[in-house]
Chain A
Amino acid sequence: MATGLLKGLGVTFQEMFRPKVTTKYPDEPYVFPNRLRGIQKLYVEKCIVCHQCANICPTQCITIKEKPKTDPAQKKKELAVFDINFEICILCDLCTEVCPTEAIVMTSNVELAETSRADLHKDLPWLEANNTNVREVNKP
């Protein structure tokens, strides 16, 4: 009558001797697959300030401003401000997908926890400095 119960006990008993599946995060870093969509890395000099990333972003979390040209003969546009608001960025990959020059690319860094909301507004220097774990396909 109670065979099902006993068989169940057998299953849990055997499990004790199987290898464990949990990892030792955060003692040991957890390596994500290379494609993982994490925090973006920005290559400032590559950006042509075309605003495509800001336009495609479904949550409108990218703010871009162009630097006023010092020399009127200068062709290339330069970035003055490039902010991503990680309070609302959903890491959807669309911005990096549309960027024509691969100026903005994904890294697989995901640790974004901060103690204040303001810290989640990442600016140009921060995004430029975030250059670990960049996707292989986007490596310059």
Chain B
Amino acid sequence: MPAALGAVVLLLVVLGLVTFAVYVHRKLLGWMQGRHGPTHTGPYGLLQTIADTVKLLQKEDVIPAQVDRPLFRLAPIIAFAPSFVVLAVIPFAPGLTFADVGVGLLFYLAVASVTTLGVIAGGWAANNKWSLIGALRSAAQMVSYEVPLALSALAVVLMAGSLNLNAIVEAQARSVWFVIPQALGFVIFLIAALAELNRTPFDLTEAESELVAGYLTEYSGVRFAFFMLGEYVYLFAMGALIATLYFGGWLPPHPALAFVPGIVWFLIKALFFAVLPFWLQATFPRARVDQLMGLAWKGLIPLAMVNLVLTAALKTWL
């Protein structure tokens, strides 16, 4: 029973975070573009996201005539559910992990890739050429970038000697934060993570100017909201994973600062990496799809391999 309760609490916390993230997203973009961002709904526009959600939920549920109905209905759920599931293995603070799985990192990577299925299903079911192209692009992109993502994460596993995320954090408590020995791995991981999240400059799947809205073209109302929700939850989950793998999770930057609870440190780090993509989005254009693939296969994967070998060597001889 407490496990179920925990899950509900987690769900609510994450929903709150997402609401906040959308607001921060719009405010930051606004400020970087000489605008104010939302100001109208509630104080400082804080209720804007809630208003938007309510609007989305009220919308007529449109299912175009020619779609594959069961699949069309199922896709948003397939895409969204894993984003919550992965949060279960993230260690938020000492002893605060919803499911302390032994192979936590593996679990995260494996479950996260299920989302790709949801995206493909959605694009295919919509029976629209734009959706299809968007979905195929996204599948290709996600599959390609999972390789460097996993390879660079593997180097961290070598350093820590465990796949358990709690153990990885503890290993960093004993030595230094892994971003220092794993600087190269971190950069690769960050780039691959952006591509996994479909954020600028890798936001090809919904490249508005080219593909209308990619796999989302035919979605509206609640189903659209689910896809969006999934995306923002992933943003937070990925921020949390980066914080855990490379920035010591709940650890304070210096032992002298240990009086601040671990969860605060964790949230600061995770939110920083969750917000970073917004800044990139405000600055960069989109890469081209073939260049993107080139970068993954010819750039990141070899580099990640080298990184892995170097880490192994480091581990063996030092």
Contacts and interface: CB of A to CB of B under 8 A. Distances in A.
Determine whether A and B are in direct contact in the complex, meaning some CB atoms lie less than 8 angstroms apart.
Answer: yes
A5 B35 CA distance: 22
A73 to B, nearest CB: 63
Interface stretch (B26-34, B137-145, B204-212): B26-34
Interface string A1-31: 0000100110111011010111010000000
Contacts of A8: 283-284
A8 B32 CA distance: 12
Contact of B35 (A11, A12, A22): A22
A16 B279 CA distance: 11
B45 to A, nearest CB: 12
Contacts of A13: 32, 279
Contacts of A11: 283
A22 B28 CA distance: 15
B277 to A, nearest CB: 12
Nearest to A23: B36
A18 B283 contact: no
Interface residues of B, number: 14
B284 A20 contact: no
B32 A15 contact: yes
B279 A15 contact: no
Nearest to B280: A9
B9 to A, nearest CB: 34
Contacts, number: 33
B283 A12 contact: yes
Interface string B10-37: 0000000000000000001011111110
A92 to B, nearest CB: 32
A126 B4 CA distance: 67
Contacts of B35: 20-22
Nearest to A17: B31
Contacts of B284: 5, 8
Interface residues of A, number: 13
A40 B282 CA distance: 43
Contacts of A16: 28, 31-32
A12 B283 CA distance: 6
Nearest to A15: B32
A74 B97 CA distance: 96
A12 B32 contact: yes
B32 A22 contact: no
Contacts of A5: 283-284
Given A20-B36, A22-B36, A15 B31 contact: yes
A24 B38 CA distance: 11
Nearest to B28: A16
Contacts of B39: 24
B33 A15 contact: yes
Interface string B35-75: 11001000000000000000000000000000000000000
Interface of A: 5, 8-9, 11-13, 15-16, 18, 20-22, 24
Those 10 A-B pairs whose CB atoms lie nearest each other, nearest first: A16-B31, A12-B32, A21-B34, A12-B283, A8-B283, A12-B282, A22-B35, A15-B32, A9-B283, A20-B36
Interface of B: 28, 30-36, 39, 279-280, 282-284
27 contacts: A5-B283, A5-B284, A9-B279, A9-B280, A12-B32, A12-B279, A12-B282, A12-B283, A13-B32, A13-B279, A15-B31, A15-B32, A15-B33, A15-B34, A16-B28, A16-B32, A18-B34, A20-B30, A20-B31, A20-B35, A20-B36, A21-B34, A21-B35, A22-B34, A22-B35, A22-B36, A24-B39
Given A9-B280, A16-B31, A20-B34, 9 more contacts: A5-B283, A5-B284, A8-B283, A9-B283, A12-B283, A13-B32, A15-B34, A21-B34, A22-B35
